[in-house]
Amino acid sequence: MSKKEWKAIWRLLCDYSKGRSEVIISMIFHGIIPGIRPFISVILTGKLIDAVYNGADFVTIARYSLIAVSVYGILSAIDGILVKIYNQSMEYMFEIQNGPINKKSMEMDFEYLEDARVHECTQKLSLNNSRFGVIGSALSHLEQLLLSVTSCICAFIIVLPMFLTNGDEKAGFIASPLASVLFLVIVGALIWANYKVLTYYNAKHLEIERQAAPFSNRRRFYLDLLGVTEQQKDIRIYDQSKLLFQELEKIIKNENEVGKKCTVCMVKNGVAAQVVVALLSIVVYTFSGLRCYAGMITIGNVVTYAASISKVSEAVRLFVQRLGWLKYTANNTENYIEFMELSQRKYEGTIPMEKRRDNKFSVEFEHVSFKYPGSDTYVIKDLNLSFVIGEKMAIVGKNGSGKTTFIKLLCRLYDVTEGCIKVNGIDIRKYDYQEYCDLFAVVFQDFCMFDFPVGENLACSMNVDEERAMDALTRAGLGERVKELPEGLNTYVGKGFDESGVNFSGGEKQKMAIARAIYKDAPFVIMDEPTAALDPEAECQVFEGFDKMVGKKTAIYISHRLASCRFCEDILVFDKGQVVQRGSHEELEKQDGLYKELWNAQAVYYDAS
């Protein structure tokens, strides 16, 4: 692994360990203790063989056994306590990982949420990891690396006396330092050969796994698709099930081919490793056996040393395997770091919003131009306009004319590229961001209703003012529907969290979104196609109650249905990022221009009188 990859893993652990140091500590000891524990039985076996061979009494043999069992039991008890802490955290590791990621998503600039590179990072974090997530994978691999390193250290300490023992000159070459050096060279060469073989096949196996990742991701996508109720309507009507299952069969076939390659690779890996282990065992048994024959070590020592060296071979295999997977995890960790280190681009203002009882706020767009990050095309170009709170304003225009972008800029989801937006004469970037957001209650086209109770969806809080919530629902045209429900405001939206929840229709959810905007009681009410999912009768009810809903607030209404514009005092006609016309419905209808063109095109669908 490279220095950069180790730094990535270190950063991940530092982030995770904040407030969870006990899990890191338990992981470390859970890696070390299992590395030590097997050598207790290895040492005991050698001691017992020597004791029996030397005719030791029962008490001596029992003492050896009791000491070994006691040490083994103490280590197991400690490991048991630590592993409980470790495993409890590992069960929810993916959720724990997503905690800071979700928090970052909520706090980062909105523009990042529409950035393709940011999406790629989050997708890799969610799709290309085990159920333990990046953090869980890193902890698991590090634990096994510690185990393998501990095993090698223990084996070295146990075997070291074999090289330090002085033999009788009569023993000849086998007792000489040169023999020890030669033995170490041969053992080192075999262990290195084992390492290289394992590294080669492990890298090959990981490469095959990487090739399989796209198939796994696509299979997961299709299976998720089949499990979504909303998607089933299109699948059934257009008989798409055959296409989906054919795609799934192709993916599964490809995955099976990859699986066969993995199996072949693992078999070759296993055979090569076993050959090296067998050669290593022959060398160790031969050398230790000859030294035993020369009287330099005991028979028990031969068994102990041989078993220890064999465990080194297994430890090397484990080390190589986990190091490879840790390298793979480090690549995903780099995505995590890139995501977490996204800096704030927006200027963080500190000026508090002026608290006005009359809710009078003047808004000015001064030479505002805007293009989305990474794009060279201006969506808004040199826009100049002003309005004050209390006016009813409609924004109309063709698709892509800049209507929704205008709202995003006003709400400061994006900052302008050029020019500035002022509220009460002050650049909105200088205001405290959250206080500025409190000015707006917005119903976007792609509004979101959570699987929470109706009241909590309106209040965006667990503390719900029920009288205020019911008033908002009534004004949005959904009051009677909610009153009829057995649980009223406590009725869950959908069945995600509660089987007794109600699957509200699209139109009902849209009314609920409008009620949420009313409940907030903000000076600005902005509605981006709020009647798109409503039938004409319900749309008419919303229009008729529009003034009542917003009262003396500023209402900005984006719509493709120009009939709605007749309820507004001021209409802005957008085209190619600019306001090309402005006025009331009566004024614009008399002018030649885009508004009249759009109105005439839609006049056949509603009574224009």
509 part of a folded domain: yes
pLDDT given at position 419: 93
Last residue within a domain, chosen from 521, 540, 563:
521
Sequence-ordered list of residues with C-beta below 8 angstroms from that of 496, at least 6 positions apart, any chain = 451
Give the containing element (helix H, strand E) for 483.
Answer: helix 479-484
Are 143 and 17 members of one domain?
yes
End-to-end CA distance of the chain: 75
Q: Is residue 331 part of a domain?
A: yes
- Within this chain, do residues 458 and 334 fall inside the same structural domain, yes or no? no
Q: Do 157 and 30 reside in the same domain of the chain?
A: yes
Output the domain CATH number for residue 475.
Answer: 3.40.50.300
CA–CA gap between residue 378 and residue 401 (Å, rounded): 11
User: Do 369 and 381 meet the contact criterion of CB atoms below 8 Å apart?
Assistant: yes
Enter the tokens of residue 501: 């929840």
- Residue 106 located in a structural domain: yes
Report d(CA 94, CA 131) in Å as an integer: 6
Contacts of 323 (CB under 8 A, 6+ apart): 1, 141, 145
Number of structural domains (the chain) is 2
Domain membership of residue 416 (yes or no) is no
In the chain, which residues have pLDDT < 70? 19, 88-98, 120, 123-132, 165-171, 213-214, 216-217, 220, 224-231, 233, 355-360, 389-390, 530-549, 564-565, 603-609
Q: Is residue 87 part of a domain?
A: yes
Its domain, for residue 473, covers: 450-521
Candidates 330, 336, 325; CA nearest to 4 is 330
Last residue of a domain, one of 481, 499, 521: 521
In this structure, what DSSP letter does residue 351 have? B
Residues 459 and 322 in one domain: no
Residue 269 domain flag: no
Nearest to 521 by CA among 546, 553, 476: 553
- Domain boundary (521, 553, 584) is at 521
pTM of the model: 0.64
Is 279 among the domain residues?
A: no
What pLDDT is stored for residue 609 in this prediction?
A: 42
Instruction: Please report whether residue 278 resides in a domain.
Output: no
Q: What is the reported pLDDT for 34?
A: 86
